[in-house]
Amino acid sequence: MNGNLNITEIEAKSILRKMNKIDSWFLCVSGMNIYRGCEHACVYCDGRTEKYQVAGEFGEEITVKRNAAELLQEELQKYSNKSGLIMIGGGVGDSYQPAEKDYKLTRQILEIIKAHKLPIHILTKSTLVLRDIDIIKELNAATKVIVSMSFSSVDDELSELLEPGVAPPSARLAALQEFKNAGISCGMYLMPTIPYITDTPQKIEECFQKASQLDLDFIVYTGLTLKEGRQKQFFYKFLERHYPELIDQYDDLYQEGNKWGSPNQDYSESFGHFLLTLSQKYKMPLRLPIDLVSPYLTPKDQVIATLDQIDYLRKIRGQKSSFGYTAYNISKLKEDMYQLRYCLESIKGVGPVTERIILEILNKGNSSYYDKLLRSWSN
Ligand code: SF4
């Protein structure tokens, strides 16, 4: 563990957070933060953003929910939602950060989930996840597990600068290889790529090459966001120290007043277009393919996630889309999909094309239009 680390143990009141709508990036319907704060201390981490209310100096203070396993045991007794993946990781603290070596809370959580045979998606930057490969394999045999790692590049030297607290990308890729060898679906989250540092065509293509060599199931990308306040200030200090020549370009890219801290639209569009080219060249889906997990989703969640992903896959091609709007409207309705199928035309945003897509999902279990967008090289 980090010598400067300050750990606060707490008795949390709850652990499982149910999402209002299936998350189409990870295909999960609920998730949990076992740790708040993260020893990995990646320089770009948006866990520093004030809205997450992570106390103290980010990277030097973590809060441990020491009763996480007992809470989960209790909450799963009442958990009616047996369909849909539970997310382990992401959020404001890696579930496999160094503290986990001693606390073993994530391992206890996995044991409980295994007893309930619930499907999960693990996202981490730590090779400590290999410690739990025994449970993960057993759970995958009973239901479905996805193991994903996040990267800002596959360059070990750059990673040392940007992600000083984690294993180098080469070690993360080796871990993914072990999970693939064990028959587990695996993905790479390029989350985030760092403008002018890790987003060069050569660096991004290296990611696709590695992912393709390992036969990973998908690559999902998101660009760096810099929200005003703690996160942006910290990142700018990093730039001043290591890349002062880039500051003017960052000022242009990240204009003040953007609520989400997103880079400007031209950058995002041209980068998206480049990713599409690589996705086709390396036959690598740019979303977590829904068919990997569709047996574990309710028909309604499958419809919502498919429409959301179609929205993304159209927009990255520069096409207009209201599929995301329709997905949102469906998510707000109480009825299940078999009730809704008889009144689809009354749902806001559903026109003849969307209606055909939804009925195809309900009748055949997938959408040929979605598949054409996701795997455009095979058409
Ligand atoms: S591993 Fe994830 S949560 Fe932890 S500091 Fe890095 S980006 Fe943030």
For a ligand 1 pocket test, name from 5, 46, 125, 151 the mutation site with the most ligand atoms within 8 angstroms of its C-beta.
125
For a ligand 1 pocket test, name from 5, 26, 33, 38 the mutation site with the most ligand atoms within 8 angstroms of its C-beta.
38
User: Ligand 1: distance of its center to the CA of 215 in Å?
Assistant: 25
User: Ligand 1: distance of its center to the CA of 92 in Å?
Assistant: 7
Q: How confident is the model at residue 351 (pLDDT cuts 50, 70, 90)?
A: very high
Domain with CATH 1.10.150.110 in the chain: 298-378
Contact, 174 vs 140, CB < 8 A?
no
CATH topology classification for 298-378: DNA polymerase; domain 1 (1.10.150)
pLDDT > 90: percent of the chain:
85
Ligand 1 atom 7: the closest Cα is on which residue?
45
Among 26, 222, 34, CA closest to 121? 26
In eight-state DSSP terms, residue 74 is H
The pLDDT of residue 192 is 95
Contact, 276 vs 284, CB < 8 A?
no
Q: Ligand 1 in contact with 99 (CB < 6 A)?
A: no
Which amino acid, residue 297? L
User: Ligand 1: distance of its center to the CA of 226 in Å?
Assistant: 14
User: Ligand 1: distance of its center to the CA of 93 in Å?
Assistant: 6
- Written out in words, the top-level CATH class of the domain with range 6-291 is alpha beta
63-91 pLDDT, tens digit per residue, is 999 999 999 999 998 876 678 999 999 77
User: How many whole angstroms separate alpha carbon 153 and alpha carbon 163?
Assistant: 10
The pLDDT of residue 345 is 93
Q: Ligand 1 in contact with 167 (CB < 6 A)?
A: no
Provide the terminal-to-terminal Cα distance of the chain, rounded to the nearest Å: 50
Domain with CATH 3.20.20.70 in the chain: 6-291
User: Ligand 1: distance of its center to the CA of 39 in Å?
Assistant: 8
Q: Ligand 1 in contact with 45 (CB < 6 A)?
A: yes
141-191 pLDDT, tens digit per residue, is 999 999 999 999 999 999 999 999 999 999 999 999 999 999 999 999 999
